Amino acid sequence: MNTVTVKNVVIGEGLPKICVPIVSKTRVEIIEEAKSITDIPVDIVEWRVDWFEGSNDLKQIIAVLEDLAPALNEIPLLFTFRTKREGGEKAIEAASYAALNQAVAATGLVDLVDIEIFTGDEIVKSAIEHIHASKVKVIASNHDFDKTPSKEDIVERLRKMQDLGADIAKIAVMPNNKLDVLELMAATVIMSEQYARIPIVTMSMSGIGVVSRLTGEAFGSAITFGSAKKASAPGQIPVKELDHVLQLLNRSMH
């Protein structure tokens, strides 16, 4: 499997990298939160732009990015507009969604862009090509807030992301029971050991899925999401506790 390097962070080897989402609504709050994040163990910061009050205005988004990139002080930045369809705050047309992500990548102010894989194959393929042309990496993603698909289906979705040209493949699913968590973790092992040419990121959401956020190194998931202030998805653990457990598991495994 190939690793992915953004700034000084190598994704796909060693400890799962900790990604912290910023879900503030105003420009001032977003920058304040970014400055406070630099004091905690974090590898990547995700700006969830769908929470931002100016998310339908490219000029306002770029104005925030111009302050955000320097505030993060060399921490890689992941740009994500999570659509309503996949658990985000706002709905957006597929063409506008692709155009926004491509325009943001072209600014050179972000290191990674999240693209939802079920936006339409041609749109996704074209968006990934454009984003790559701006020398920005793509995390292809899919979120199921209702259920956990079968492990065969999860593996198929991750392989689709890989085939469409993503640099990293990510899936988050909702468990309805404990066996669902095992289904996601089994899919992670199968994908990482048999099919993955790129790093994969998997998680089972909510309280019973928390174990999946901690055991990435053992099962094959390369990034885990923790919260600094407000969680962006059910089951996210505060970053310092998350880092402590990841370090503990790492020492026990080696």
CATH of the domain at 201: 3.20.20.70
Is 241 one of the annotated binding-site residues?
no
- Residues 5 and 199: their CA atoms lie apart, in Å, by 11
Predicted confidence at residue 254, as pLDDT, reads 84
27 among annotated binding-site residues: no
Residue 15 neighbours by CB distance under 10 Å:
15
Low-confidence residues in the chain, pLDDT < 70? 230-234
Residue showing tokens 């996210």: 236
Task: Note down the domain range covering 50.
Answer: 12-244
Give the amino acid at 201.
V
Residues 19 and 224 sit within 8 Å (Cβ to Cβ): yes
The alpha carbon of residue 56 and the mean position of all alpha carbons in its chain are separated, in whole angstroms, by 21
CA distances from 140 to 29, 123, 149, 155 (A): 27, 13, 18, 14
pLDDT at 57: 97
82 marked as binding residue: yes
Whether 250 is in a domain gets the answer: no
HSE-CB at 249 with a 13 A cutoff on CA atoms is 18
Asked whether 24 and 55 are in contact (CB, 8 A), the reply is no
Q: Does 99 reside within a domain?
A: yes
Is residue 1 one of the residues assigned to a domain?
no
Assess whether 254 carries a catalytic annotation.
Answer: no
**pLDDT tens digits for 234-249?**
678 899 999 999 999 9
Pairwise CA distance, residues 146 & 144, whole Å = 6
- Residue 120, both tokens: 């339409």
In a domain, 6, yes or no: no
Is position 85 annotated in a ligand binding site?
no
Instruction: Tell me: is residue 213 an annotated ligand-binding position.
Output: yes
Q: What is the pLDDT of residues 212-230, one digit of tens each?
A: 999 999 999 999 999 887 6
Classify residue 211: in a domain, yes or no.
yes
Clarify whether 170 is annotated catalytic. yes
- Whether 254 maps to a domain, the answer reads no
- Tell the burial category of 253 from Cβ atoms under 10 Å away from its Cβ (0-12, 13-18, 19+): exposed
CB distance 181 to 211 below 8 Å = yes
Asked if residue 251 is part of any domain, the answer here is no
What is the number of structural domains in the chain? 1
Q: SS3 for 219-243, per residue?
A: HCCCEEEEECCCCCCCCCEEHHHHH
Looking at the domain assignment, is residue 3 inside a domain? no
Please pick, among 170, 178, 230, 254, the residue that the annotation labels catalytic: 170
Which of 17, 130, 137, 143 is catalytic? The answer is 143
pLDDT digits (tens, 9 = 90+) for 59-74: 999 999 999 999 998 9
Residues 6+ apart with CB under 8 A from 11: 3, 4, 5, 17, 44, 168, 199, 222, 223
221 belongs to an annotated ligand binding site: no
